[in-house]
Structure 1
Amino acid sequence: MGLLSTHEAVVWWEYHHGKPTSDIFSEYEKPKHIPDYIFSILAKEIDSRISNPKEAEKEKEKISRMQFTSSAYVSRVLTRAKSKIEDSLKQHANSHRLDIENVNGEKGILTGFDYQANTNVYIVFTLGLGVIIWYEHTNYGGKLCDGTPYDPLAQTDGKQCPKLEECRETLDTILKEYNLTLNPKEEEMYMTQQSIRIFGKLGAKQLPRYQRETQEGE
């Protein structure tokens, strides 16, 4: 899973799909299948390092179900995940020499500014694609996503942006993992505009609260 352990990845996913830590524990108090999205990522990792199909299937079976011991444990797992993610976001920002404006490990996003490129930069953690670094831009080589000239008076070859599929996968991954939605108007936007809306939604996202497990007698 790269940066996060399997437990951290599952808790992170469930937390960002609206479940406080007490609810996550309740669901996994008894062994339960992990989310399909998480399993598919782990299965690919297993296939990449284990060539024997039978051994690979055994490993997949081991990680297909999960059980947590308490709500307090789930909270600790989430805290560890947040800390790892925040540290990673800062490291990437420093390596790109960005001026950090805001970092939120709980939401998995860092916003900064690149003075050399004179643009805003968004760094987002994802389970599927790792850490994403997105430079805010209005066009790519003078073209919009579908090849339309950014400048109405300019001419282009008419071909769509070569980064179109990569950008679409990136934004769709963020939408899916952080359980964000676009309204019909936003869905019709070019990704250069849509991306700003998505990062704004992530930064403003309301998160479920931590809920401490109530001990008997309290």
Structure 2
Amino acid sequence: MRPQILIIEPNLKIAQVIEMELTCEGYQVNVMQDGMEGLLETRRSNPNLLILGWELTGVSCLDICQRLRLTHSSLPILVLTRKDQVCDRIASLEAGADSCLTQPFNLGEFVATVRALLRRAQPNNSEVLEFKNLVLDRRTREVHHNSQQIELTAKEFDLLEYLMTHAKRVLSREQILQNVWGYDFLGDSNIIEVYIRYLRLKLEDHQTNRLIHTVRGVGYVLRS
């Protein structure tokens, strides 16, 4: 699946140049101009990378960064700041941006930065996944929590594996449904809630701190 990139940039000319360049690089690109609409779309579609222009309408670039980080989103964010404004770059990084580029920027450097951010955010593909005191072995399909083996059904295991692969990243119900149950799933629409509850009962009997959190209106995230 091609990485999805969302651009929120009020300057249509700049947005179109970026969109064309990234599309040629093989990425799936969506462009929005209004800050608030862009924030809502970010939460709805959960892209692989968010690119923010500086002078947004509706809600500021810094506010978007801060709101996303308040929900513990690990979404990579690239901010395009104004020329020679060091204070903009500092403010962006402190608000939660992962990287900044000053406009006008070199397209080669821009694409390289995009690749680096996406590479850094790639999920863990190792055979053994670990998160806090939770260990999942893909080869044996065994799960241990606080050194005790946890018996999971096949679908419970698949769901936990997906959450651990994207630990600390908020996953929408649509993403979970597509990646754990498949695109052609026609069963109960509440199936995700049911299996999240099963996992919580099995994992949280051993400690008071919740591991699987509900992000209201978005989905679920595995975090301490």
TM-score, reference length from structure 1: 0.30
TM-score, reference length from structure 2: 0.29
**Could you say which structure has the larger radius of gyration?**
1
Instruction: Give the structure with the larger strand fraction.
Output: 2
Higher relative contact order, chain-length normalized (CA < 8 Å, sep 6+): 1
